[in-house]
């Protein structure tokens, strides 16, 4: 049982519980050896008792620990202690993609595609290392506070599926591929299917297949056709729609074949969202019988004639080079002679084959004799090959880097000496650092002194001893300072073109309609103004074509009165489909709080418009608070007569009178981690015994505390 404040593995102090899942609980912890915060994932009791699962779990977790990529949550350590099986991972401060979607209802296609690209890069790195995730879903994707997207739980899904863990434990069936739903073989293309479902949810705010039971949903994955995301959000570009549908094909052969293909199309969709560039594979058409054209038939005939001529020449050459035969050998059987002609051309290969076969036979016989001799005690194999030092422990034969030595402080912790990689090429340096058992983390800095991709420094000095799997920050030269892209949004295309090309950069133009930007002016640019760009790199300019003929730009109705919204729909020839009501924490009661099209979406007359009116804040919603802090011993200013090390009775009571803590202890500081508190604050009371004039007296110190809103 894991408790707050306990120490795991003699180094990880459990600070607070930060999450829970079907198979494990996740805690924030502090590694006291490396002085950093980590996430510790602990297997739940029912899985810890399954020895087969635990074995698989550790193997797969160790495989996941070999992955190093900016878009993957790194695994630092795997261990077990008192039937507690745990994985130590990188602590990522942020929220899951699932919660992010729930907060925003749905994402814009640009944001969804950008997230999908980062997810694909992480999955692709795992696939390149022959590791399949098997449980890609928004709950296993984390968005950090810096906006970095990271995929987590690599290897755990494989451990679970290999032990037939039930679907209610294995996570949501909403994202599983048809082959996984059938219980069949799954590979990299199963992850691609799950990525497509995740992209669908980012774009629409919902999953394509739903049902009352997991079995019903699984059957839909197998049998029902995938619905287009444009049916829910019509403004999704055609290329993004095609990417989703290709990822989610029922047959794995019709999907993308690897993550590189997915990434290429996702990046292209940001540049040309309305272009039809996604290639779909029609397996029926590829396998169907096709009529050979006249040109193809002529080509086949020419090749056949050349082949006949070549064989005829070979036959003549063989006739003239064949050794004469004795009369006894030739019995007038012409067929025998023609068949034997081919043997002459292959005689050299036959000789080589015979020699190799004889050599292989000799080697095999020698090995067999050695084994038999060893069994009968005839031969002494101690003299064969390199001898083993009798003073060397049995475990010393394990393959470890030459710089790896046991830590003198513990018997099971290994340390390595950092190598000197200054001035190395970054790729060579990374390989060497990984070879000795450390984890490289590369950061690029501009430098005129060092060539590009050259190691400038490391945060661990050469020769310094550190624990295996420690992270080494490697600073690498990014070369000379890149050009700063000028801001050109709002300029005419000609002005923007001249300004950008004048700095040695190139321009790529993309035209699109706009309801707000004048024709011929720049709507947006990528990279944005002020961002660095390498000399000669392209700046994409999105140039306005003006208002599309016959189209109407959707306004931002949020905050409008219902009558105002209905008047706009009537004046612009739109169809009022429905009006809903819902609670809103941000929009006042009676005002529009939802619309089915985003601002500036170009709509055809007659398009159905759906909007909702706010009912104000939900009266049933309860605000809850949390308290994550430490309680220190009475200070000298608070209690001058308190003796350190004496017993103190500690209570924490909320303003509503609920007792959260009531303990007597002499050990400080005390960890306090409480959630779901209904009061905004409370009082900590420290009661201790002091000796006054030889008489023991009970004294108290009170502290006011404020809780944080969850």
DSSP state of 165: -
Identify the residue whose tokens are 């660095």: 532
**Tokens for 315?**
């036959």
Angle, helices 238-247/109-128, rounded to nearest 10 degrees: 30
Spatial distance between the Cα atoms of 168 and 159, rounded to a whole number of angstroms: 15
Q: Active-site residue among 77, 135, 153, 191?
A: 135
Identify the residue whose tokens are 């993004």: 240
**Tokens for 600?**
């500036």
**C-beta separation of 93 from 28 below 8 A:** no
Query: 3-class secondary structure for 361-398?
Result: HHHHHHHHHHHHHHHHCCCCHHHCCCCCCCCCCHHHHC
Q: How many CA atoms lie within 13 A of 664 on its CB side?
A: 5
310's CB contacts (< 8 A; 6+ apart) are none
Spatial distance between the Cα atoms of 148 and 115, rounded to a whole number of angstroms: 9
Q: Is 265 a catalytic residue?
A: no
DSSP state of 212: S
631's CB contacts (< 8 A; 6+ apart) are 650, 652, 661, 668, 669, 670, 672, 684, 686
**Tokens for 335?**
């067929």
Nearest to 544 by CA among 529, 526, 525: 525
The C-alpha R_g of the chain, in whole angstroms, comes to 35
φ and ψ of 504, to 5 deg: 85, 10
Q: For residues 600-609, b (16+ Cβ closer than 10 Å) or e, as one string?
A: ebbbeeebeb
Cis amide bond preceding 669, omega within 30:
yes
DSSP state of 596: S
DSSP state of 254: G
DSSP state of 273: T
φ and ψ of 213, to 5 deg: -130, 160
Identify the residue whose tokens are 């950061």: 443
Across the beta sheet with 708-709, the strand order is 670-677, 625-631, 708-709
Spatial distance between the Cα atoms of 634 and 642, rounded to a whole number of angstroms: 7
Spatial distance between the Cα atoms of 337 and 685, rounded to a whole number of angstroms: 110
Distance (Å) of CA 329 to CA 317, 318, 324, 332, 334: 21, 18, 10, 9, 12
Phi/psi zone of residue 168: left (φ > 0), alpha (ψ -120 to 50 degrees), beta? alpha
**Tokens for 51?**
């020895």
3-state helix, strand, coil in the chain (%, to 5): 30, 25, 40
Distance (Å) of CA 640 to CA 102, 209, 650: 52, 67, 18
Query: Which uninterrupted H or E stretch holds 266?
Result: helix 259-271
Spatial distance between the Cα atoms of 136 and 98, rounded to a whole number of angstroms: 12
Euclidean distance between the first and the last CA atom of the chain, given in angstroms as a whole number? 26
Spatial distance between the Cα atoms of 278 and 293, rounded to a whole number of angstroms: 28
**Tokens for 12?**
């990880």
**Tokens for 165?**
């863990």
- Return the SS3 of 469: coil
Please list the active-site residues: 135
């Amino acid at each position: 049982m894991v408790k707050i404040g306990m120490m795991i593995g003699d180094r990880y102090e459990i600070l607070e519980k930060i999450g829970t899942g079907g198979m494990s609980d996740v805690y924030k912890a502090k590694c006291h050896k490396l002085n950093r915060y980590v996430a510790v994932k602990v297997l739940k009791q029912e899985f810890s008792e399954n020895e087969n699962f635990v074995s698989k779990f550790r193997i797969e977790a160790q495989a996941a620990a070999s992955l190093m990529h900016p878009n993957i949550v790194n695994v630092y350590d795997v261990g077990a202690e008192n039937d507690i099986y745990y994985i130590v991972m990188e602590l990522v401060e942020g929220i899951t993609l699932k919660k992010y979607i729930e907060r925003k209802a749905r994402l814009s296609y640009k944001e969804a595609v950008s997230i999908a690209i980062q997810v694909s890069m992480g999955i692709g790195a795992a696939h390149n290392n022959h590791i399949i995730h098997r449980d890609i879903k928004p709950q296993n994707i984390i968005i950090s506070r810096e906006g970095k997207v990271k995929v987590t739980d690599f290897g755990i899904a494989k451990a679970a599926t290999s032990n037939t863990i039930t679907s209610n434990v294995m996570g949501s069936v909403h994202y599983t591929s048809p082959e996984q739903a059938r219980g069949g073989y799954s590979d990299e293309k199963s992850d691609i299917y799950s990525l497509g479902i995740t992209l669908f949810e980012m774009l629409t705010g919902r999953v394509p297949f739903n049902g009352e039971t997991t079995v019903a949903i699984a059957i839909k994955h197998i049998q029902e056709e995938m619905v287009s995301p444009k049916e829910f959000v019509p403004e999704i570009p055609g290329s993004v729609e095609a990417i989703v549908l290709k990822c989610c094909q029922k047959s794995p052969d019709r999907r993308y074949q690897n993550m590189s293909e997915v990434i290429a199309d996702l990046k292209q969709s940001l540049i040309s969202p309305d272009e039809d560039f996604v290639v779909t594979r029609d397996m029926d058409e590829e396998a169907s019988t096709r009529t050979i054209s006249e040109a193809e038939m002529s080509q086949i005939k020419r090749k056949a004639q050349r082949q006949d001529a070549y064989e005829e020449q070979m036959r003549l050459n063989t006739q003239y080079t064949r050794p004469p035969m004795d009369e006894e050998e030739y019995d007038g059987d012409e067929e025998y002679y023609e068949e034997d002609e081919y043997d002459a051309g292959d005689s050299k290969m036959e000789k080589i084959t015979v020699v190799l076969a004889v050599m292989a036979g000799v080697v095999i016989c020698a090995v067999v004799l050695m084994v038999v001799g060893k069994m009968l005690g005839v031969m002494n194999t101690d003299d064969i090959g390199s001898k083993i030092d009798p003073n060397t422990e049995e475990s010393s034969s394990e393959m470890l880097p030459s710089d790896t030595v046991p830590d003198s402080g513990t018997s099971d912790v290994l340390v390595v000496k950092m190598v000197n990689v200054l001035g190395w090429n970054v790729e060579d340096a990374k390989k060497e650092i990984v070879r000795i058992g450390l984890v490289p983390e590369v950061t690029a800095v501009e430098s005129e002194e060092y060539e590009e991709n050259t190691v400038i420094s490391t945060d661990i000095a050469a020769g310094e001893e550190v624990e295996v799997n420690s992270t080494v920050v490697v600073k690498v030269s990014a070369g000379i300072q890149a050009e700063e892209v000028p801001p050109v949004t709002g300029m005419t295309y000609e002005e923007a073109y001249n300004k950008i090309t004048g700095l040695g950069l190139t321009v790529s133009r993309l035209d699109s309609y706009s309801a707000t930007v004048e024709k011929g002016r720049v709507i947006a640019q990528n990279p944005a103004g002020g961002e660095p760009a390498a000399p000669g790199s392209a700046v994409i300019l999105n140039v306005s074509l003006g208002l599309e003929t016959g189209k109407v730009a959707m306004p931002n109705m949020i905050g409008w009165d219902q009558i105002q919204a209905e008047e706009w729909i009537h004046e612009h020839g739109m169809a009022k489909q429905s009006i809903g009501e819902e609670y809103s924490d941000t929009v006042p009661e009676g005002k529009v709080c939802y619309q089915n099209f985003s601002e500036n979406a170009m709509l055809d007359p007659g398009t159905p418009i759906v909007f909702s009116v706010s009912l104000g804040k939900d009266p049933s919603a309860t605000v809850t608070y949390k308290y994550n802090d430490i309680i220190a011993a009475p200070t000298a200013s608070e209690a001058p007569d308190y003796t350190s090390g004496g017993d103190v009775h500690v209570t924490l009571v909320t303003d509503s009178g609920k007792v959260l803590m009531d303990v007597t202890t002499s050990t400080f500081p005390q960890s306090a981690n409480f959630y779901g508190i209904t009061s905004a604050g409370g009082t900590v009371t420290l009661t201790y015994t002091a000796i006054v004039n030889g008489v023991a007296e009970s004294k108290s110190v009170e502290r006011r505390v404020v809780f944080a809103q969850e």
